[in-house]
Every structure is written in structure tokens, then in C-alpha cells.
A and B are shown apart, each in its own frame.
Chain A
């Protein structure tokens, strides 16, 4: 198994448009990806797209023969409406987790709306993947404090701190045992340090595919390969950890 823990579904940007599930799966197959989680993108920019994109993702994943794991998004600023949509996604659409992008969505991780959603996620066993690496709303340290406030919920740093905050990401994961890190975007030297210093059993790998083309996968796969990890650590990051976190069969 090679699990891509960071991919976005973008309506209308793939050849054939949003309904072309086979394009996605064939792209993954060409790039050696067997499974992955699929998150919204347009809905992060535009609240009006939230419900539609959650529906589309759930429908596509349902037809993916178990290969695509649906994540939804809501805007925490919408309060009760956000909670209701998250409940609908979990209970009716079969979504397995929540994606939040604090700076795009204009919401602090310290806000009440995020706390309420985090509680619901924890009760449902659904991880929360947070964009990180970007001030002022998306720092790993902010995610660590959020994770400590909600010890029953698993959180994922979507980018392990990007280029400037990867040291902070390592520290954040040490600070909160329910905080995981997705190796998606730090440079090679940072990836080496993260793998060496962070808990290997809480690391995932991701491509950000969907945010761009298939080269996102190739680039980040080859970057990961350049780490030259032993078979056990590769297995942990590509398969064992996502299987445990996302409760894959």
C-alpha cells in the first residue's frame, strides 16, 4: 500500500471534469498510489461550494472501490450550520475526517467553532487535517494547543510546517501525542530531520495532488524516495500509520 494522505478534489479541473473518477484512479495507478484521502479545495475558498463539494467527494469515493477516503470541510465560522454540515457528512455521506484551512477560511484554530467541530470529530473517530506552516492562523504550535485541548481527537499537520516552521512541527508533535504529521511540502533537508526526530509512528506521506497535476505526486514521491528510508519506516509512513489512523480494512 502507498497511501497519499493529502489530495484535493477540484471540480472541473481534471480532464473530463468532476465525474471522471477513472482519471483519478488511473493517475494514482500510474504513480504507484494505491489509496488516499481526498479533500475539498474550492470549498476552502468559497463557502458556497461546501455542500456541493462534500457531496461530490463522497460520491466519487463511494465508487472508488475503497481506494479513496472522503474528507469533508466546513467553515467553523458558520457555527451551528458548520456542525450540522459536518454531522451530515459523517452520518449520511460517510466522510471519514475533516479538513480545515484556517488562513483560507479566515478562522483561528483558537476559535470556539473549531473547538466544537474538534469535539464532534473526536466523538466520531474522525481525524482533523489542518493546513499548517503559514502565519497567522496556521502554525504547528497553534495546532498543538488545539490537539491538547481535544485529547480524544486525532489531528494532522497537513504540511509538517512547510519551509519555515518544520522545526516547530517536530516540537508540536512532541507536545501533543494526538498530533500527526503529513510529509507534504517541506524541503529534503527538513524531511530528513522530521523523519529522524519525530515519532515515526505518527508520520504520513502526501502529495497535494489535485492542487496541481500528476507531477505533484511524482515530485513528492521521488523526494520521499531520496530519504532512502529502510523498508520498515517506509512501510510505517506509506501503509501502517494511515491504516491505523483512518481505520482501513
Chain B
């Protein structure tokens, strides 16, 4: 039995991502998910980076290894933001989360460059939320990934919904430092990406608690059968994060 790793969850404290660690673990158990990357919530991603990073790191310490901590930095903090990324990385954070629509810039803005260079130096993958707005789209991330070849990027949500049209050319660009995370993307769309993308480039994620992880997992399996795409469900992310995986 391959261990399933959920590539993105929010351990939130308010609004639609309000969920306690114990409840997330209970839902992971129910869905057969071994570990999950957990990220700060929206307010923490937008403005309260330090508080969010500390909270997530602390929850991960308490979770007996089942949570993998992601941190966030708003690039508008400039050098102080880079310092926060160094601090969070030293404290155990394994992934940097950026959400341009929440944080107030367009993906590709040079505002991000120092932070992205540092993430590359730290060997920390950068998860970027994409969406139907124009602040963060798949094509924009492709350009950023080309500009920062030493940094690995995870294209969160595969541009879902309307930027799904941009996914085939982005995938076919064949960028070695670009990975594709499935949460919020329609399972049948992810199935189509599975036929286009290298198998090592796809990552399962649920965006729990916005979604029900077990429900999303069940549907994704119909389009990316684990027997054919085993690493989508944990191995790819584990390699990227240099995590052990069984």
C-alpha cells in the first residue's frame, strides 16, 4: 500500500478554512491519507506571515510527523520577507506558499525575484495558487519558472477553472522545474493533464477543508488510477520535498 500525501491543506482558524488539527487528521484517516502539507490560512498568507508560519510549525511538531509544514511570505515585505523565509526554513518549513491574488501583486512582478532566488538557494519548492483571476495564471507561472530555473514551482489548482485552456501549452513547454497540483481542478481535467505531463510532474492535493479530501481523492482515482500513476499520490511530492516515502 502506497502512502498517500495530500499536497495542500489549510489548517485555518477562520472563515471557510476553519479546521482544527485533530479534525484534519480524522478526515485524513477516513480518506486513507498518511501525511499532508499544511499551510497558513488566508489572513496569514496576506498579512500575518510570521504568526501563521509559527502556528503551522507548532501544529506540525505536535502532529507526530503527519503534517508537513508550508510557510508563506508576502513579497511586499521585501528584505524582511526574505529574512522570514530563512527563519521559517531553519525552523522546519518545507514549502513556500505564494498567493498573488491574496497578497496583492501579479505573478511575474519583479517584486518576487529575491524571494524566489532565495527559495532556490534553500531548495524549497514554491507553491503558487492560480485561479480564474489575472493575478496568477499558468502561463504567468511558466514565465516565472523560466526566469528562475534553479527554483522548483508547484502550479496550484492547474489554473482552474477558466485557465484550464492554458494548461496544455504550459505542460507541453516541458519545464523541468514546474509541477502541477490537482486541487480544485476538475478530476477529468487532471486526467487529461496526466496524458500530457510527465508522470513525475503531477501532484495530488485536496485543498481541504475547502474540499473534502476523501471525496476528491475518490474521483481523481477514476481518472488517474493509482496502479498507473502511483507517484501522483505521494511519491512525486515526497521526492520534491526530499521526504521519505513508503
Contacts and interface: CB of A to CB of B under 8 A. Distances in A.
Interface of A: 103, 133-136, 159, 162-165, 185, 187-190, 192-193, 212-213, 215-216, 219, 222-223, 226
Contacts, number: 60
A102 to B, nearest CB: 12
Interface of B: 16-17, 101, 131-134, 157, 160-162, 184, 186-188, 207, 209-212, 215, 219, 222
B132 A163 contact: yes
A163 B188 CA distance: 17
A223 B215 contact: yes
B133 A164 contact: yes
B132 A164 contact: yes
Given A164-B131, A189-B16, A212-B188, A134 B162 contact: yes
Nearest to A225: B215
Contacts of B222: 215
A129 B212 CA distance: 29
Given A135-B132, A189-B17, A162 B212 contact: no
A109 B134 CA distance: 19
B219 A163 contact: no
Nearest to B165: A104
A164 B207 CA distance: 14
Contacts of A134: 132, 161-162
B200 to A, nearest CB: 26
A212 B16 contact: no
B131 A163 contact: yes
Contacts of B101: 164
A187 B161 CA distance: 11
Contacts of B184: 163, 187
A159 B132 CA distance: 13
The list of the 9 closest CB pairs from A to B, nearest first, reads A189-B16, A189-B210, A134-B162, A187-B210, A134-B132, A164-B131, A212-B188, A187-B211, A188-B211
B183 to A, nearest CB: 9
24 contacts: A103-B162, A133-B161, A133-B162, A134-B132, A134-B161, A159-B161, A162-B161, A163-B132, A163-B157, A163-B160, A163-B161, A164-B101, A187-B184, A187-B210, A188-B211, A189-B209, A189-B210, A190-B16, A213-B188, A215-B187, A216-B186, A216-B188, A219-B186, A226-B212
Contacts of B207: 187
A222 B17 contact: no
Most chain B beta-carbon contacts within 10 A, residue among A159, A188, A189, A213: A189
